[in-house]
Amino acid sequence: MDNKLKIFSGRGSGLLAKKIANSLGYELGKVSIKTFSDGELWVKFEENIRGHDVFIIQSTNSPAENILELTLMIDAAVRASAKRVTIVIPYFGYGRQDRKDQPRVPISSRVMIDIFESMGTNRIITMDLHSTQIQGFAKVPFDNLYSRSVIFDAIKDEKLNPDSSVVLAPDMGSVKMSQGYAKNLGMNFAIIDKRRYAPNKTQVSHLIGELNNRDVLIIDDMIDTAGTLVNAAKAAFEKGARSVIAIATHGVLSGEAIKRLEKSQINKIIITDTIEMSNEKRIDKLKIVSVSKVFSEAVNRIHKGESVSALFEFQKGD
């Protein structure tokens, strides 16, 4: 690998970015980011990046300042004559606003893509998009990586008996993913039919599948307010489940999520480090696994001009 690769991070993803860089044998590049007293941001790359292959790592979860910070870093890199600017967004915020589902609303995920492209981004990398159609909004290459290999390892560490275990899809949107996990793990499959009666408000309508005296895995792409997850776990225990392990790529954990999870009967919650977790949210039943090697392999392949799609074959599953 030549010395043209440079990896930088915004303030929202410093820990994961450091792991990615170290996995490749690099140190994170030096960049100064300051917030003035009036709230304005100031960004400066503290090393030469002219003609370099620059990767900027930043998740776009709350606060919205993370998005603006990433945008300013892209512009600074382009104006500093970087040869190519690739943004690595482990968690793509606004990914759930991917369509115009009612009058007078924006397609916010499209707006995010437009902003990053207009700043001069040459390529976008993310993980486990809530809706893969978002890739179609971009005019530049857009790679959606999968956390599946890391999640598989975490599940195997639990040493569950496949014959007495069930993968439970918490809603219709996660059916395909859950079925993929169930097939690859040799486990049974069940599904919950839920009804959404307000934003972030759902209730279980029906549960289809046999859960009695079985270990249940509830797998989703993210845990936000944890309402869907806690309701699904409650329904599973009411159907005789022996234990419930919740698994998700993105631990958004907003609002009352941590309180809900602590009070719930859920035995363990496994998430990845796509979103940096504050100490207040690190409860005992929470386990965080790293996806740094998946991202570092993608960065390495892109830098060398190799195929990224080869990474998808095992990760994507059926």
What is the set of active-site residues?
194
| Paired strand residues for 215 | 165, 243
Here the tokens at position 26 are 């690099």
Helix ranges (DSSP H) in the chain? 14-23, 65-79, 108-118, 148-157, 175-185, 227-238, 257-263, 292-304, 312-316
Q: Taking every pair of C-alpha atoms in the chain, what is the biggest distance, in angstroms?
A: 62
- Alpha carbons within 13 A on the beta-carbon side of 70: 33
User: What are the respective helix, strand and coil percentages of the chain, to the nearest 5?
Assistant: 35, 25, 40
- Rounded Cα gap, residues 165 and 186, in angstroms: 9
Closest-CA residue to 144 (of 73, 194, 104, 90)? 90
Amino acid, res. 289: V
Alpha carbon distance 309, 127 (integer Å): 13
